[in-house]
């Protein structure tokens, strides 16, 4: 049976865990946002560079080669970015749950 001190400590522990969890989520979301912005910037730069190359080409074969290289690089970049974002999301979820692991262990009934 819990007394008033136990209830207050339980409430404080839960608030502390929630704040730590929120901090981890906030940090993770910020990292994902930075990654996404960097990817968008690189993608725009790559698109612009490809357009400039295409404007200067003299043959259809060269235009097809430039376009093929662009599509391949874009796809590879997208796959790498998706993987990186997935890793960041997984890491964020793990970090967000960590503060609660101790609480779950404390609150589990002893056998």
Q: Are 109 and 38 in contact (CB under 8 A)?
A: no
Mean pLDDT of 33-55: 96
Helix or strand or coil: residue 94? helix
Predicted pLDDT of residue 108: 52
> Torsion angle, CA of 88/89/90/92, rounded to 10 degrees?
80
Predicted pLDDT of residue 30: 96
How many angstroms separate the CA atoms of 101 and 92, rounded?
Answer: 15
Q: Give the pLDDT band of residue 101 (cuts 50, 70, 90).
A: confident
DSSP conformation class of 111: -
Predicted pLDDT of residue 99: 85
Predicted pLDDT of residue 90: 95
pTM for the full predicted model: 0.73
Q: Are 99 and 17 in contact (CB under 8 A)?
A: yes
Over 70: is that where the pLDDT of 64 sits?
yes
Predicted pLDDT of residue 102: 73
Nearest Cα residue to 27 out of 90, 81, 76, 95: 95
Q: Give the pLDDT band of residue 17 (cuts 50, 70, 90).
A: confident
Over 70: is that where the pLDDT of 5 sits?
no
CA-based angle 8:12:14, to the nearest 5?
A: 115
């Amino acid at each position: 049976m819990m007394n008033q001190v136990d209830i207050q400590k339980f409430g404080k522990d839960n608030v502390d865990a929630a704040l730590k969890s929120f901090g981890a989520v906030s940090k993770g979301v910020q990292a994902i946002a930075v990654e996404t912005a960097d990817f968008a910037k690189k993608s725009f730069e790559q698109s612009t560079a490809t357009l400039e190359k295409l404007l200067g080409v003299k043959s259809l074969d060269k235009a097809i080669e430039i376009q093929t290289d662009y599509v391949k690089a874009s796809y590879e970049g997208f796959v790498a970015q998706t993987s990186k974002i997935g890793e960041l999301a997984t890491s964020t979820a793990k970090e967000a749950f960590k503060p609660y692991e101790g609480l779950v262990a404390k609150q589990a009934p002893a056998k």
